[in-house]
Chains A and B, each alone.
Chain A
Amino acid sequence: MAGLDIRSRPLAVALLALTCAAAVASVPLSAGREPGIDTALYPLNAVALGAAGLLILLRLPRHPVGLLLVGAAPVGALVELLEGYGYHDTWPGALPAQWLSSWGSLVGVGCSTIVLELFPDGRAAARWWRWLPPFTVAATATMALGAALSHANDSSYTFTKGGNPYAFDGLDFLYAIGELTVTASVVLAVVSLIDRYRRAGSAERQQLKLIFWFACLLGVVGPFAGMSYNDSFVVQVAIALVVPLLPVTICVAILRYRLYDVDVLIARTISYAALTVLLAAAWGGTALVLGAVLAGGSAWVTAGATIAAAAVVLPLRRRVQDGVDRAFRRARHDVLARVDAYLEDLRAGVASADELEGLLRDVLRDPDLELRLLLPGESPPAAAAGAPAGGAKADGTTIDGTETEGTETDGTETDGAARSDGTDRGGRVRTMVERSGVPLAEVTHAVPPGEPLADVLSRAGLAIEIARLQAEVRHRLAEVEASRARIVAAAHEERRRLERDLHDGAQQRLVSAGLALRHVQYQLGDQPAAHGIEVVVAELAGAIKDLRELANGVRPPRLDDGLELALRELAGRAPLPVRVHAAPGPLPDTVVAAAYYVAAEALTNIVKHAAASTVELRAAQEDGELVLSVRDDGVGGAEPAAGSGLRGLADRVGALGGGLRLESPVGAGTTLTVRLPCVS
């Protein structure tokens, strides 16, 4: 039937309709006269073939595989119909119907083989495979001819009149040759598929993998069918479900529907099959042992076995999945192993959360991938697009016309979730990473949102959360540091204003009042009241002096003269010799004040505790920092935590982004060093 050419959609639809009609009609004719599963399975398979073929043709007109399926479907259905008719041997023409169905079913075998040879692009796997489809046609024709015109097929098909009524003697060899060549065709078709896979690009490989998946499925169900097809209803249903899956699989592969999820599909199928076997073994084994121990207590045996099976299901699943991944999805396994290793390092504090983006770029092979961590209160631009309420599900998005439906991610290890929200200008996709409904990060990437991205993001969910937390902490810390610096600056400014107010306000008014009194005193001349005024003016002078001291304490006005003069002045007032080496150059106001207070506090401490004979005060700018050091030759042994004065200075220095270091070995003097960044 390979030559059947369907050039119009109505014809394809008509053929499918014919297939359906014949398939439906075959059911009542066959019912009760063959195993019920045969009655259902073969017509269903024919309909599946036709539907799959039509779907392919709708998207890809004149795709050879589509044409082949659409053409093979009515043949299969008609063969079923004729077989059913043939069961009624009293009806007219029952014998020709039996004869036609006895060899007609071979057409389906031929078509399926050719489909495998042409899958998925409708061409032979390679130049030297081009002879295979014609060879298969010839082989099938030979076998069909042999079956139609000899007694060779009598053993596998039951004629009511004892054998093929149209057989010629001596043509058995045709059937033998046909059987041999058709078998060879099937084997060669499989070889050509493997050869095709070897030379295929990534997309075609994914398509081919679907067929291998079907083979896996068949590999799981097939052995059961071989053991107990006629006895077990379950196995019959399984076969009935699996066989029509071949055309469905072919259709899915050719149309590239969720192409990149095939790896997951295959791995899942294998791991669940293996899991089923292992669980059955666990159940059966436990039941056997318990049955032997607790003779007769069948309910207890069942319960015990079930508990045993349930107990092993989770660890077993993880192991099996891991093993299957290792064997069949090496790349995925390696990628996830790297993510896991990184997470381990991150927890151990060996790796930094900053490396996460690089890791994602690396494992996803997307050098332009961007990871944007979303801090709390920072609403992602795409968040309004309606996030699914939790769950590990990636929504689909369409990139460049390629269907890239999201994949169900492995949500058991973490409850991370990734959603792809749309594309930006470069055809790049934004995927939102969520955890318990909280948006954590937005990943912009060029790789398709299905496998392996969703898997990797899901596995990296915890790492992303840690990175986000670290970023949040850093952000908060920067905020706190900035606000601390602002507070210090504000306090500094406040002191400055207060000092100004004291000097220019209260102090000036007291001087004015004093002057006014002096004037009154002058006018009074030598009257006794003038002496009273003398006392008041003296009192005022004292008040002014006190005010000056107060203002001086609030903020020494000598700081306006620069750090060097202020330090020299400080040194000059100290009760012990202080050598000053200071040429710090211009400095921000807050730095001058902090350095001055540090020096003053240090000198106070030295006088109080150090029993020093000399002090050396140094101030200089180094690499944009003011370095101030106060060194004495006293007893040493100073405790940084001891003086609350020093503690307060450390806070002040810290607020300016600087650091304070105290070296005080017992008996060898004390050196206090302060570094203050000078860039304001």
Chain B
Amino acid sequence: MRVVIAEDQVLLREGLVRLFEDRGHTVVAALGDAAGVLAAVGEHTPDLVVLDIRMPPTFTDEGARTAREVKDAHPEVGVLVLSQHVEARYAVGLVTLGGFGYLLKDRVLDVGEFLAAAGRVAGGGSALDPHVVGALLAAQGTADPVAGLSARERDVLALMAEGLNNTAIARRLVVSERTVEGHVRHLLIKLGLAEVDDGHRRVLAVLAHLRHTALPAPHPPVP
């Protein structure tokens, strides 16, 4: 994988660079802020851009805005946004795009999972942090249709939204794959969605549904 990294904290940036390079990936650019990201992407045509959501100069949503710009200019490039905590309002507009991921920073410590997620995003798939999915689902509240789901079906839905396929979900929940398939079928029926096999499109369908039924457009922040 050819990777562009934008992270303002030097130690973290170097750690990420080594993380990718130790596993044989190529970091073509490691930047300290969001300003040069678009240019670097144009220059290096990477497979993946890893962005910290808060960066200079305002430390609010530079990463999120840059992610949007990169996706607009280069839809084929995967964008993985890292955040210290869930900021649902930034995720909302991006989750329905292909090749997008939103993970909490400490996920990088679980190197295998992190690189798998990065690979999914680079390949046009999704990688949403369980916290992000949780926030999206919680924000959706008890309003229909998620209210009708059982606890287990919700767990499965969350894992689907993370971008996992049935096999991975079965492994995570320590159940058989057939059980997962049953849950998926039920919850998709309950949500009124056509059953699809492709993992990414499945996530998109779920998230798009959630977004349209539950999530309002974020308000501009009030000073």
Q: Nearest B residue to A580 by beta-carbon distance?
A: B141
**A545 & B141 in contact (Cβ 8 Å cutoff):** no
Smallest CB gap from A583: residue in B: B216
Picked from B18, B89, B140, B141, the residue with its CB within 8 Å of the CB of A561 is B89
Q: Which residues of B contact A316 (CB under 8 A)?
A: none
The answer to whether residues A512 and B142 also contact, given A504-B59, A565-B88, A577-B147 and a CB cut-off of 8 A, is: no
The stretch of B8-16, B72-80, B187-195, B200-208 in contact with A is: B8-16
In the bound complex, what is the Cα–Cα distance between A564 and B88 (angstroms)? 12
Within the complex, which residue of B109, B218, B219, B221 is in contact with A514, where a contact is CB–CB below 8 Å? B109
Given A512-B9, A560-B89, A561-B88, answer yes or no on A572-B138 (Cβ-Cβ < 8 Å): yes
User: Nearest chain B CB to A363's CB is how many angstroms away?
Assistant: 51
Digitize A543-586: 1 where CB-to-B-CB distance is under 8 Å, 0 elsewhere.
01100100110000110111011001101110001111001011
Asked whether B137 lies within 8 Å of A545 as measured between CB atoms, the reply is no
A511 touches B12 (CB 8 A): yes
B109→A522 contact, CB < 8 A: no
> Is there an interface contact between A564 and B12, defined as CB atoms closer than 8 Å?
no
Please give, as numbers and ranges, the residues of chain B lying within 8 Å of A512 by CB-CB distance.
9, 11-12, 15
Q: Identify the interface centre among A511, A573, A578: most chain B CB within 10 Å of its CB.
A: A511
Per-residue A-contact encoding for B69-112, CB less than 8 Å = 1, 0 else? 00000000000000011111100000000000000111011110
Q: When the two chains form their complex, are residues B222 and A568 in contact, meaning their CB atoms are under 8 A apart?
A: no
A572 contacts B142, C-beta separation under 8 Å: yes
Does B22 touch A at the CB level, under 8 Å?
Answer: yes
**Complex contacts, B108 vs chain A, CB 8 Å:** 511, 514-515
Which residues of B, 108-151, contact A by the 8 Å Cβ criterion? 108-111, 135, 137-143, 147
A519 close to chain B: CB less than 8 A: yes
| Inter-chain contacts of B105 with A (CB < 8 A) | 507-508, 511
Scoring A507, A551, A560 by chain B CB atoms within 10 A of each residue's CB, the highest score goes to A560
Residues of B within 8 A of A552 (CB): 85
Considering only CB atoms and an 8 Å cut-off, how many residues of chain B contact the other chain?
41
Q: Across the two chains, which residue of chain B brings its CB closest to A564?
A: B216
Measured between beta carbons, the chain B residues less than 8 angstroms from A573 are 138
Interface size class of A (residues with CB under 8 A): 35 or more
Residues on the B chain within 8 Å of A577, using CB: 142, 147
B54 within 8 A of A: yes
B18: A residues at CB distance < 8 A: 515, 519
B57 interface contact, C-beta 8 A: no
**Separation in Å of the B109 CB from the closest CB of chain A?**
4
Q: Across the interface, which residues of B come within 8 angstroms of A516, CB to CB?
A: 11, 15
Q: Please, which residues of chain A bring their CB within 8 A of the CB of B141? A: 568, 571-572, 578-580
Q: Which residue of B lies closest to A569 (CB)?
A: B138
Interface residues of chain B, those whose CB is within 8 Å of chain A, are 9, 11-12, 15-16, 18-19, 22, 54, 59, 84-89, 104-106, 108-111, 135, 137-143, 147, 214-216, 218-223
Q: Please, could you name 30 A-B residue pairs with CB atoms under 8 Å apart, sorted by A? A: A504-B59, A508-B84, A508-B105, A510-B106, A511-B105, A512-B9, A512-B15, A514-B109, A515-B11, A515-B16, A515-B18, A515-B19, A518-B111, A519-B18, A519-B19, A519-B22, A537-B109, A541-B106, A544-B106, A557-B85, A560-B89, A562-B218, A565-B139, A568-B140, A569-B88, A572-B137, A579-B142, A580-B143, A587-B222, A588-B223
Taking A562-B219, A569-B88 as known contacts, 6 extra A-B pairs with beta carbons closer than 8 A to each other, sorted by chain A number, are: A512-B15, A548-B104, A568-B214, A572-B137, A572-B138, A586-B222
